[in-house]
Chain A
Amino acid sequence: MTVVLTLVELDEGVPAETSLEALTLARDIAGQTDSSVSAVVVSDEAAAVADELGDYGVGEVHAVEHERLDSYAPEAWAESVDQVANELDAGAVVAPGSDRGHEVLSHVAARRGVSIAANCLDVDAGEEYEVTRQRWGGTLLEEARLGGDTKFLTSAAHEVGIEPAAEPADPPVHSFSPSLDDDVFRVQVDRYEESEAEGVPLGEARVVVSGGRGVGGPDGYDQLEDLADLLGGAVGASRAAVNEGWRPHDDQIGQTGAKISPKLYIPCGISGAVQHMVGCKGAENILAINTDPEAAIIQKADYAVIADLHDVVPELNETLRETQ
């Protein structure tokens, strides 16, 4: 029985959401190819997540352990994954649609001189795979044929739903000690610098309040900051606002900025161009505040207030302060 090997990243000791998405996609592939799903985890905490991985249909967990792998090293990870894949004779390697997922899988593919299919939504798996993947940051889809002995692909973040397996497995954890040259550690995280910015990071915020051209200038964001504080959320911005210099690029949500997945997204004075929407597709709910009832953002929203944000937001902040 062939194996669909899946790279699982841990985020504070639990499988990252994008990894669960990758597992969901991997299980789909495995189902089509009569394969089993194995996970490769580069962490000494792998055993602790085996049960959860089992819920997602993982049959075996390969825990990569190496004395120098105390911090992330892309090539070392790639070399390890490559070795595990080789040993298992994996039919496919699936990685999450994250920075590390793309990076590691690119390194593995480079070692083998083949292509990866990045940001896949759907796979029709046979001898060759027909994949549906994102292009243009999700603005377009591509159907493509993926060849090679081993297929390399990543799942599109916030696109592939996370679904537990119908029948949970109880995977054994195999420890794997890769053989790693010094060379693969020439790039390794040296240190971690905490963000100086206060508050919740955009990518993790439960509520994101963001402003576009309609905010009118940098000062207009004060009220959005207040609202975000009241809701325990973070502030974002459209590309238009960032280009105007009203907000730093780090706040940008969209095709070339952050992809967010909050429980609630509150775009204020944002028209909702596709390039913006691909950044907030992960939001569970959208409450739009906009003067233009015809704006695209209204068509995408669950709730809307058709009014000037400069009227609504201060009033809303006031009311929220009173109720708290």
Chain B
Amino acid sequence: MSSRDLPETAETVILGAGIVGNSLAYHLARYGREDMVLIDKGPLPDPGGSTGHASNFLMPVEHSKEMTHLTRRSIEQYKEFDTFTNSGGIEVARTEERVEELKRRVQSAKAWGEPGELLTPEEVEEMVPYVNTDLIKAGFHSPGAGTCDPLRAGEVMRARADAIASGEVDPDEVSEVEPDGGTAAVDQESAGGLTVSPNTEVLDLHVEGGEIQSVETDRGTVDADEVIIAAGLWSPKLAQMAGVEIPLTPAVHQMVSVGPISFFEDYEGEISFPVVRDMDTQMYERQHGNDLEVGSYQHRPILWDVEDVPSIDEAPLSPTQPPLTEDAFEQSMADALDMVPELLDDPDAGVRHEIDGLLSQTPDGGPLLGQLQDVDGLWSAAAIWIKEAPAIGEALAQQITRGWSDIDIHASDVNRFYEYGNSREFVKNRSAEGFQKIYGIVHPHEQWQTSRPLRTSPFYHRQDDLDARFFEAAGWERPQWFESNRDLLTEYNSELADLTRPNEWDSRWWSPIILAEHLHMRDNVAMVGDMGFTIFDLVGPGATEYAERMAVGRMDVDVGKSVYTPILAENGGFVSDLSVVRIGENRYRVITGGGMGGSDKAWFRDHLPEDGSVQLVDQTSSLCTLGVWGPNARDLVDSVAEEDMSHEAFPPYTAQKITIGEVDAWALRISYVGELGWEIYAPMEQGQRLWDTLWEAGQKHDVRPAGMGVYGTTARMEKGYRLFGHELELEYNPAEAGLTFHGVKDTDFVGKEAYAQALDEENAATLCTLSVDDHMSEDGERRFMLGNEPILDQDGEVIVDEEGRESYVTSAGTGASVGKHLLMAYLPPEHAEEGEQLQVEYMGEHYPVTVEVAGSRPLFDPENERIRS
């Protein structure tokens, strides 16, 4: 055994010493890990991954709240490491459409509490004198933006990680630690701390009984309690060693560096001018010393196979910096010359560096974070940009050590593609499609086009025949509305007169037919499905005890009873909200939304008792779901069911086995749309028969199909139902969300302490339903908010609660029955008063809104008479 060998054991092994791995090491040390090994195949300080070639600027404002908050938190950290330069950043618009998008940027900036303002071309020129203002119509200024040095930050984080983990310094005094260049010598007799081992190749990951055991390298094998894959675009290769998938692909981002530019010679330091993003050409230009870095996302998607990425020895520059594909960059050069001609035509300046920089692209563009659901103790920290890496390292360290993170990273859960989206084909298709959306104007409801249809319910062909407009969720094709219902527009003409959307942006990916379907359902009956639920059963002698421990609601209920319940993390924040039905003495069925179903299942699996007294049986692909709702639902179902469907025989919030025509099904009397009716579950292969039977019988009731537009938005919002990922998230607790109807049960459950405390305290914010009083814009066009807009007080100031959380629209939708456009938002107590007059900012203008409901009381049918009828 040579001196190069690794320690034989460690608490934590981190694979990859780029910005992500270093950040994880640092934050895990802060949160108490004392014995860690950080491995990279390449040398330090630059192991050759994407960290080494990134353009290193951080623009905090995005339309995603979590990404904005992660970037802001990362900037704080880079500042703390003295590796941040606050240059500011400007996104410029060449087109009118982009000007609108920049207004939306301002709107998001306000909603997420980040400064940001619109600039005139003249104002842009004052800040960046070399921009060709003839080309631009406006700019969005983000004063918080800047550039960082991630390699230096990595050195600082490694040194601090070692100092804290080995007990040399207190975490509070860690700023005194000086980085030493970062290669702490490998010490086999390691007494803890951080062992950094560059130039070390991982040969295998050993898994036994679904648990990670050890990491085998060319310098020996380390037994580890937990292993984190933070290997950037090589992550999928490592995951495969453990038999699991991390769905990402290397993709090219082209970048050139031009210099020396004499204009910059008068300015000291790395960057003296804001980074410019030329959004319409999907490019950026940024000063870097005497050079100008020009990067582009406009070129055709160039995806790599990870197997083709050369080793550090074989690569002329670095593995992630293959040579520029010249022809793909031609248009970018022309566009850059148009935008910054004075700099690029500097007679002394040449293209000194040009690369196809490789980065990690995922099917939806988001990071891949969290524990991989088939291997306990194996975590993914992949597809992370420089701008969010320090904060994601922190959030993951929190999640690993205590189960929840301060910034909710649920939307980036690595398991979100688990059921359907791990194939190479899917990853390539979606990554190529997603690449083109970088810097694009992406409508909040924009649908993916590739790899569809992928998951279809047995109703799919029938719905297709009815001219369904399918939206996709977690791979499932779900009708958003049905063009075959267009005739209903005439029928409901007067009700809908003020609710249709004249503006193209507002009505993109939307149809007034949704509202007509809504009204028809409320008046008559509709068939809705499949919702793409994730369904799994908890089975075994320990099922009740286990279910009690997982849920806020009481689980020891009568067989056949369903309970809608929050699922919390230890901090009382939301992990999920879902329905649990006791379907047997020792058997529970969990029904949850498909989008986050993978994460929910991972959460439940991760908490299963170790004694094996409960098994988790996935039913997602076995059962289809068809909702039948409306005043005539009972008549319809009763006409084809063998069983008695009367209110007395089949009370609300209960489940029973029923037979519909020939189909043996299982029905749950529940409604997310606030109507009488059932969710009917049947074996997938009998689903079409189920549809046909109900459809045929429904003709005499004029049954109509209704889409997810009704189910997910219009009907649910009228009922004040909360949607996970919108209203429900880790940063708000059940008391604030108004989901306290369970009280505090006696038995222990995850998050109980925090939950009980939240119930006792006064809410810092309360989830409210608001309605828009006046839709008229200054141009005289009626505008309809789509969600994520900031809520302002009468003075036009963004409302912030005492915990520093901005009020913003968590969901927006039109309540067809109440005749109003509805918004949900968390408001602090002083504003959470029914009748309170506030404002919402939308596309640069302010619209008056009124608080209709403070809390969870439904706006429509507040006593739930329909459900109980």
Contacts and interface: CB of A to CB of B under 8 A. Distances in A.
B43 interface: yes
Interface in A272-324: 291-295, 308
Interface in B43-88: 43-44
A291 B184 CA distance: 11
A295 B45 CA distance: 12
| Interface of chain B, main secondary structure | loop
B183 interface: yes
B524 interface: no
Interface in B216-253: none
Q: How large is the interface on A (under 10, 10 to 19, 20 to 34, 35 or more residues)?
A: under 10
B181 A294 contact: no
B674 interface: no
Contacts of A292: 43-44, 183
B630 interface: no
Contacts of A308: 181
A311 to B, nearest CB: 12
A227 B616 CA distance: 71
A294 B198 CA distance: 8
B2 to A, nearest CB: 12
Nearest to B45: A292
Contacts of B44: 292
Contacts of A295: 43
Interface string B184-218: 01000000000000110000000000000000000
B449 to A, nearest CB: 46
Nearest to A271: B43
Interface string B147-183: 0000000000000000000000000000000000101
B418 to A, nearest CB: 38
Contacts of B199: 294
Nearest to A296: B313
Contacts of B185: 293
Nearest to A306: B185
| Interface of chain A, main secondary structure | loop
A268 to B, nearest CB: 16
B4 to A, nearest CB: 8
A291 B181 contact: yes
Interface string A194-224: 0000000000000000000000000000000
Contacts of B183: 291-293
Contacts of A291: 181, 183
Nearest to A294: B199
Nearest to A295: B43
Residue of A271, A292, A295, A308 ringed by the most chain B CB atoms within 10 A: A292
Nearest to B183: A292
Contacts of B198: 294
Residue of A291, A294, A295, A308 ringed by the most chain B CB atoms within 10 A: A294
Nearest to B197: A294
Interface string B712-740: 00000000000000000000000000000
Contacts of A271: 43
A291 B43 CA distance: 12
Contacts of B181: 291, 308
Interface string B27-52: 00000000000000001100000000
A271 B313 CA distance: 12
A26 B199 CA distance: 44
B41 to A, nearest CB: 11
A308 B44 CA distance: 15
Nearest to A274: B313
A295 B44 CA distance: 10
Nearest to B198: A294
A85 to B, nearest CB: 42
A100 to B, nearest CB: 32
A233 B378 CA distance: 55
Interface string A39-80: 000000000000000000000000000000000000000000
Interface string B392-425: 0000000000000000000000000000000000
Contacts of A293: 183, 185
B558 to A, nearest CB: 66
A308 B183 CA distance: 13
A295 B198 CA distance: 11
Interface string B796-838: 0000000000000000000000000000000000000000000
A292 B181 CA distance: 10
A291 B198 CA distance: 13
A271 B181 CA distance: 15
Interface string A168-179: 000000000000
A308 B182 CA distance: 13
B566 to A, nearest CB: 51
Interface string B550-569: 00000000000000000000
A271 B43 CA distance: 11
A293 B43 CA distance: 10
Interface string A151-185: 00000000000000000000000000000000000
A275 B181 CA distance: 26
Nearest to B199: A294
A293 B185 CA distance: 9
A292 B185 CA distance: 10
Nearest to A291: B181
B665 to A, nearest CB: 64
A310 to B, nearest CB: 12
A308 B180 CA distance: 11
A309 to B, nearest CB: 13
Nearest to B200: A294
Interface in A77-129: none
A297 to B, nearest CB: 12
A294 B199 CA distance: 7
A291 B180 CA distance: 11
B348 to A, nearest CB: 14
Contacts of B43: 271, 292, 294-295
B496 to A, nearest CB: 69
Interface string B628-663: 000000000000000000000000000000000000
A308 B181 CA distance: 10
A295 B185 CA distance: 14
A26 B185 CA distance: 50
B51 to A, nearest CB: 18
A256 to B, nearest CB: 14
A269 B43 CA distance: 14
Interface in A233-283: 271
Contacts of A294: 43, 198-199
A274 to B, nearest CB: 8
A85 B183 CA distance: 61
B8 to A, nearest CB: 21
A240 to B, nearest CB: 12
A134 B295 CA distance: 40
A294 B44 CA distance: 10
Interface in B109-154: none
A314 B44 CA distance: 25
Interface in B455-485: none
A293 B2 CA distance: 13
A143 to B, nearest CB: 22
A293 B183 CA distance: 9
A271 B198 CA distance: 14
A291 B183 CA distance: 9
A168 B198 CA distance: 54
A292 B44 CA distance: 8
A291 B181 CA distance: 9
A307 B181 CA distance: 11
A226 B43 CA distance: 30
13 contacts: A271-B43, A291-B181, A291-B183, A292-B43, A292-B44, A292-B183, A293-B183, A293-B185, A294-B43, A294-B198, A294-B199, A295-B43, A308-B181
Interface of A: 271, 291-295, 308
Per CB-CB distance, the 3 closest pairs between chain A and chain B, nearest first, are A294-B199, A291-B181, A294-B43
Given A293-B185, A295-B43, 11 more contacts: A271-B43, A291-B181, A291-B183, A292-B43, A292-B44, A292-B183, A293-B183, A294-B43, A294-B198, A294-B199, A308-B181
